[in-house]
Amino acid sequence: MNFVLDTNAVSETRKPRPNPGFVTWLAAQDSAHLFITTVTLAEVWSGFHSLKPKHPDYDGIKVFASDLPRKFRVLNFDSRAAAIWGQMIAAAAGPLPLRDSFIAAIVRSRGYRIVTRDAAPFERMGCKVVDPWR
């Protein structure tokens, strides 16, 4: 089974005291079945670039962001995801969170599961959700 880590899951890996349920779940996974999206990469880089260079962990966060494509396979928002995204937006009863909707479209276009602490929006968008924080 393949899993896409949402941005909050990727960020959890960097916390000084990550959630024990998440850590246990992640350790039990085969890394060949763990993915991130280009959207998550963009969110992590955005967080880094919002830091001042004098931030105490500036260099560590830069290394973390740079290493993500080596730690996880990266999925792009491609034509398959675009078709799913268009369908989701047209069918939605109200607005969807933009970045999460792009991630959801990537996940659904591949038939994978999303690993997130924020299950509700992804469930609303038709994703199969894994929430190891529960």
Q: What percent of the chain has pLDDT over 90?
A: 99
Does the pLDDT value for residue 129 go beyond 90? Answer: yes
Q: Which two tokens stand for residue 98?
A: 């933009």
Q: What pLDDT, in 10s, does the model give residues 73-107?
A: 999 999 999 999 999 999 999 999 999 999 999 99
Does the pLDDT value for residue 134 go beyond 90? Answer: no
Look at residue 83 in the predicted model and tell me its pLDDT. 98
Look at residue 86 in the predicted model and tell me its pLDDT. 98
Domain architecture of the chain: domains with CATH: 3-130 (3.40.50.1010)
Does the pLDDT value for residue 108 go beyond 90? Answer: yes
Does the pLDDT value for residue 23 go beyond 90? Answer: yes
Tell whether the torsion through CA atoms of 70, 30, 126 and 116 is positive or negative. negative
Q: In degrees rounded to 5, what are phi and psi of residue 56?
A: -60, -25
Contact call for residues 9 and 115 (beta carbons, < 8 A): yes
Q: What pLDDT, in 10s, does the model give residues 25-82?
A: 999 999 999 999 999 999 999 999 999 999 999 999 999 999 999 999 999 999 999 9
Q: What percent of the chain has pLDDT over 70?
A: 100
Look at residue 99 in the predicted model and tell me its pLDDT. 97
CA nearest 102: which of 73, 125, 118, 120?
Answer: 125
What is the pLDDT averaged over residues 4-24?
A: 97
